[in-house]
Amino acid sequence: MKAIQLYYPPEWAHCYGCGYLNAQGLRIETYWHPERGESETRFTPKPHHTAIPGFVYGGLLASLVDCHSTATAAAAKAAAEGVSLEEAPLRFVTASLKVDFLKPTPLGPELRLVGRPKEVKGRKVVVETELYAEETLTVRGEAVLVQIGEGFGRSEDAPAGG
């Protein structure tokens, strides 16, 4: 199975969390399971992702939920439209991200994120994500993702400045 992120066209593959062209990034890989209507990402934080000794930094956890959600949105939209990501390389950005840290997340075990599309409507997809450390649910997220088109981020979308 090919990770959803690997379908992104190169101009949208530099994201710190999920871009395969970002050598310094997290480069997460998300897989879509059509039979379950769910996505899954696995990631093992490194020692420098510490919050307090023994526990994972919350900002990293939010990044994982963020990029896992954009990939889930692409897969969910493709499934809803009956197209494959191969023929339609859909790309979403995050409009809104809510993260609930339910319990401290231990540093060491591989983390597993499970995403479920809650709403697919027009260019908008709402995704719920659960993050598990071993079998313990430690983080829950909800994101609103909006589909972008060619040229996004090149001109009028970018802030002015020097």
Ligand X SMILES: CCCCCCCCCC(=O)SCCNC(=O)CCNC(=O)[C@H](O)C(C)(C)COP(=O)(O)OP(=O)(O)OC[C@H]1O[C@@H](n2cnc3c(N)ncnc32)[C@H](O)[C@@H]1OP(=O)(O)O
Give the nearer residue to ligand X in terms of CB position, either 50 or 94. Answer: 94
Q: How far is the CB of 108 from ligand X (least distance, A)?
A: 26
Query: Which pairing describes strands 136-148 and 91-101: parallel, antiparallel, or unpaired?
Result: antiparallel
**Considering the rule CB under 6 A, would residue 43 count as an interface residue with ligand X?**
no
CB 69 within 8 A of CB 129: yes
Site for ligand X in 50-109 (CB under 6 A): 66-67, 70, 91, 93-96
**Considering the rule CB under 6 A, would residue 140 count as an interface residue with ligand X?**
no
The backbone torsions φ and ψ at residue 69, rounded to the nearest 5 degrees and listed phi first, read: -70, -40
Query: In this chain, which of 82, 121, 159, 161 binds ligand X, going by CB under 6 A?
Result: 121
- d(C-alpha 105, C-alpha 138), whole Å: 6
CB 78 within 8 A of CB 147: no
Residues near ligand X (CB under 6 A) are 12, 15, 17, 66-67, 70, 91, 93-96, 121-124, 144, 146, 148, 152-153, 157
